[in-house]
Structure 1
């Protein structure tokens, strides 16, 4: 996904021959029971501890299911401390009371939750009706902690909709993680906000939502740097340079921003020396050794140093 989502561990559970038993719920309270309860507990009490003790993980977990397993996945949402923060429901075969329980749980959640729901024009008619009714309910929820997305795909059927829905679901769930795009950049250039504040908030959000302490990507440094230069806020460009140097002292990036800030504020000799100090550092995007040499030489020529 080219940095559109964090590194992820994808786990599939083979339910060949056991799918109905694994998703069994009683017909009184409509919660997992007997073999369904065993499978429910297996995921939380055995699978998760094994994964967390074996691999490098965070506390952000996504569960996806189709048909019966989509409905079953939702039961984790009703725990006091849900294992999953994001739920991908692909044409769920909803059990009795599920719609009302989802409405209540998602409407009252005090922590960030993502809920993706999908059907299609050629989905199983009975499932499609119940899914569309569920959507009408969930779409009325007013809760800033809920990130809800619904798709009704044209033409796919019950099984083929999965291939359409999974990329859409991941795109919505990890929207805040993606690098700064052209639309965001244009807004940063033209609005009254601070591009640097936007950058800091973006990476704070990534850490808070997904549990990932992600270094600022080169794409985002360059986008924010260009926006700051467009606004001619040289004090802020200096702060961006300090951030870049702190993150990677061996990169030319921070040196360039500091030198550019000095140059634009009339401190040309210091700027020249800063450009020169970066000749042997790692190149970053358009900031190459030749580029930095030219910047220093132009100052020498213009001011006779």
Structure 2
């Protein structure tokens, strides 16, 4: 029942997003390549917003599950909205071709490699608003092929989702060495399953042993070994797991994050600022701080009686949400905590014409102002 509900939600979510079929000119191939593109909801109305790009290889069968998950997770703000680009591959094995001597892309594989970096992305950048964060996802042969983009410096992609990869000879050693030495921030996810094709499973497990021992703070590595998953069913489990882990920093503050990190932070306000600085630095997105995150930080500040932090939070809320009561509410609480009750009362009263923010509305502010009047006789 739960699986059916999730599939229904993903399908409904996918229908809400805008899918476009495009033809990308290619001098490399001497003929155009077909792509499917899913734009985020409200893409046309958010004219000043840029979006990460998720490139889906094997788009003939991977595009819909990836696009549906991206739209679903971004709807709940568990990942940023993104432009999903699926490349149609009539001959996926030819697109993944490598030389039998040096095991690097050759023939159509080289043409396909150059097409993505030298033709697809310049074409995308002219038509769409792209943030400087790119993710690529592939399955078996195309998952193995995607690793070649890590050989470039800087790599074209910041994140890699490798589902039961079919690795070229020497790729495991090359990949491990590259990730050990790179100065670039890289997210790398791979998955296999207990019922995966045996040679692919063995190679993936061996690569996992190498990658999990890498000591490089620039690398965020994730791995799943799904019980009872076959070479094909692991894809349906790997896609949401990869998105959830790679974009974990982006999601709103969770109960676990609040208890384990926010409450233990020396300054909850500084924690909030750092969280959004990381999001901007990693994903190239300068998103407005969520109201729920303001509320979480305020709860931590109250537990710590950090009234200076409340003042900083109030000033930030006024900047982020000037149309709402949020900033005045936090500033008022700061002044109350510091003992300046008259200033707190006036701050509450000054915001009564503003809009609500979550459960914080003018009635809450009026009640706090009235309580101060009753207590101090103002």
Question: TM range, normalised to the smaller chain?
Answer: over 0.9
Is 1:98 the counterpart of 2:171? The answer is yes
Determine which of 305, 318, 331 is the counterpart of 1:245.
318
The SS at the match of 1:152 is strand
Query: Which of the residues 247, 252, 255 maps onto 1:174?
Result: 247
SS of structure 2 residue aligned to 1:141: coil
Q: 2:349 aligns with which of 270, 276, 281?
A: 276
Task: Please say if residues 189 and 228 of structure 1, whose CA atoms lie closer than 8 Å, have aligned partners that are also in contact.
Answer: no
- Matched residues in 2 for 1:180 and 1:84: separation? 27
| Structure 1 residue 187, shift from structure 2 partner | 3.5
Candidates 220, 228, 232, aligned match of 1:159: 232
Determine if contact 1:189/1:230 at 8 Å carries over to the other structure.
Answer: no
- Verify the 8 A CA contact 1:188 1:194 in the aligned structure 2: no
For the 8 Å contact 1:188–1:224, the answer to whether it is kept is: no
Q: How does 1:209-220 map to 2 (within 5 A)?
A: 209-220=282-293
**CA displacement at 1:189 relative to structure 2:** 6.1
Aligned equivalents of 1:59, 1:255: Cα separation in 2? 35
TM-score (norm 2): 0.79
Q: Deviations over 1:183-205 (max 9, x none)?
A: 22223564251000100110110
Cα offset, 1:56, TM superposition? 1.1
Q: Which runs of 5+ in 1 are unaligned?
A: none
Query: Aligned pair 1:285/2:358, yes or no?
Result: yes
- 1:228 and 1:159 map into 2 onto residues whose CA distance is 48
- TM-score when scaled to structure 1? 0.97
Query: What's the Cα RMSD here?
Result: 1.1
- Corresponding position of 1:204: 277
Q: Deviations over 1:221-258 (max 9, x none)?
A: 00001100111111111111011111222210000011
Provide the residue aligned with 1:294 in structure 2: 367
1:36–1:211 CA distance, 2 compared to 1 (3 A)? same
The number of equivalent residue pairs is 304
Match of 2:307 among 230, 234, 241: 234
1:151-174: CA deviations, max 9, x gaps? 110011001100000111111111
| Alpha-carbon separation, structure 2, partners of 1:140 and 1:34 | 34
Tell me whether 1:83 sits opposite 2:184 in the alignment: no
Determine if contact 1:189/1:231 at 8 Å carries over to the other structure: no
In 1: Cα distance, 2:101 partner to 2:200 partner: 21
Q: Which has the higher strand share?
A: 2
Corresponding position of 1:52: 125
Question: Unaligned 5+ residue runs, structure 2?
Answer: 1-72
> For the structure 1 residues 293 and 87, does the alpha-carbon distance in structure 2 shift closer, same or farther, using more than 3 Å as the test?
same
